[in-house]
Amino acid sequence: MEKFIVKRKGNYRDLLCYCKAETIYDITYLFANKFFKSSDRTIDQMVQAARSGKQNIIEGYAASVTSVETELKLLNVAKSSLKELLADYEDYLRTRNLEQWSEDSEKFKKAQQLGKEHDDSKFWMEIVATRNDETIANIVIILIHQTDYLLYRFIEKVVEKFEKEGGIREKLSRLRRNKKSEDNK
């Protein structure tokens, strides 16, 4: 009998996109509570967008056992939430006349390289603890772009796997046809 529910090896914490999303959440929580007045609704909006990015990766990963469609939708929600958060950070810099680093600046390149080398939230929290709002916002913008790219690649892999193996509906249909075929023998 074909095994149609296959548990993934590892867990969501092993996903690079999840590690980066968790880092983005942790930094955003610190940033929003440090640089906004406590009555500012932006705190909740930014923290919730960061949380949604992280949590939807978890939910999508869990849903993958039975539904590729649900997994893809949730991963896309994670991407969308992070894009919303990206706009919040860009707005923060723009409305305060702070610099958003250009891709050819040394600061951007250095932070981008660190983003490629480090996925641990603890590493990033130690760095941002001593940085100003402009620097932190720019770091998070870079991490969001990196996470968005990783989510895009992850979604591509999910689609490729679906093309090769099909989803649970196809597997259940095959199981049913095979059972009927056996019964008719």
Q: Where are the domains of the chain?
A: 12-183
Task: Note the pTM of the prediction, 2 decimals.
Answer: 0.87
Burial class (CB in 10 A: 0-12, 13-18, 19+), 100: middle
Phi-psi region of 131 (alpha: psi -120 to 50; beta: other; left: phi over 0): beta
At 133 the pLDDT is: 98
pLDDT band at 6 (very low <50, low <70, confident <90, very high): low
Phi-psi region of 3 (alpha: psi -120 to 50; beta: other; left: phi over 0): beta
**Residue 41 and residue 32: Cα distance in Å, rounded?**
10
Answer whether residue 5 shows pLDDT above 60.
Answer: no
**Residue 52 and residue 56: Cα distance in Å, rounded?**
6
Angle at 139 between CA 61 and CA 11, to 5 degrees: 15
| 71-75, 82-86, 122-126, 167-171: range with lowest mean pLDDT | 167-171
At 3 the pLDDT is: 53
pLDDT in tens, 89-128: 999 999 999 999 999 999 999 999 999 999 999 999 999 9
